[in-house]
Amino acid sequence: MIEDLKKKLEECQKQKEEYLQGWQRARADFLNYKKEEMERIEELLKYAGEEDVLRLLPILDNFDVVEKKLPEDLKNNENIKGLLLIKVQLQDFLKNQGVEEIKTIGEKFNPNFHEVVGEVEMKDKAPGTIAEEIQKGYKINGRLLRPAKVKVIK
């Protein structure tokens, strides 16, 4: 009888160890799953505003066009300076969202970040170098948002 009780006790202890180890594995799996899900959610949130940012870029493009075509006599006008301050605020907002401009002029053409819309001839520069930027390109949190449209040297 005592022997039977000892056997049952040993079996119960073995079962307890198996159950405990199973529970510990399940808990570890759940914690890993939870951590992976949080990382996925963070990644999703990182790019959640991407469409809204894309809608703002044409506004920023228009500010760039206006600033480039602004006559010299108007550059010191206080009203114009105020309007251009809106451009700076928009750039700061985008920067806080993880948006950064892609470098172009003088850089080597990179098909991952640049889109060729034309070629120019220049004898003093290396072929494949970007000579002119037609439209700015942007990255968001290191990922391409919009490629830069450029002209490269033949």
What is the residue-level pLDDT of the chain in tens, covering all 154 positions? 888 899 999 999 999 999 999 999 999 999 999 999 999 988 877 777 788 889 999 999 999 999 999 998 888 899 988 989 999 999 999 999 899 999 999 999 999 999 999 999 888 888 999 999 999 999 998 899 999 999 999 8
Do residues 22 and 65 both lie within one domain?
A: no
Do residues 39 and 97 both lie within one domain?
A: no
pLDDT of residue 135: 95
Do residues 126 and 106 both lie within one domain?
A: yes
What separation in angstroms does the CA of 80 have from each of 90, 94, 125, 127?
Answer: 16, 22, 37, 39
Do residues 42 and 70 both lie within one domain?
A: no
Do residues 64 and 42 both lie within one domain?
A: no
β-strand partners of 99: 140
Do residues 8 and 35 both lie within one domain?
A: yes
Would you state the structure tokens that stand for residue 94, as one six-digit string? 């985008």
Would you state the structure tokens that stand for residue 58, as one six-digit string? 């044409």
Do residues 66 and 135 both lie within one domain?
A: yes
Do residues 76 and 40 both lie within one domain?
A: no
pTM: 0.70
Do residues 70 and 92 both lie within one domain?
A: yes
Range of the domain at 1: 1-46
Do residues 14 and 67 both lie within one domain?
A: no
CA 146 to chain centre: 11
The number of folded domains in the chain is 2
Distance of alpha carbon 63 from alpha carbon 153, whole angstroms: 27
Do residues 108 and 131 both lie within one domain?
A: yes
Residue pair 143/109 in contact by the 8 Å Cβ criterion: no
pLDDT of residue 76: 87
For residue 113, the domain's CATH number is 2.30.22.10
Do residues 62 and 136 both lie within one domain?
A: yes
Residue pair 120/153 in contact by the 8 Å Cβ criterion: yes
What separation in angstroms does the CA of 108 have from each of 41, 56, 84?
Answer: 36, 27, 31
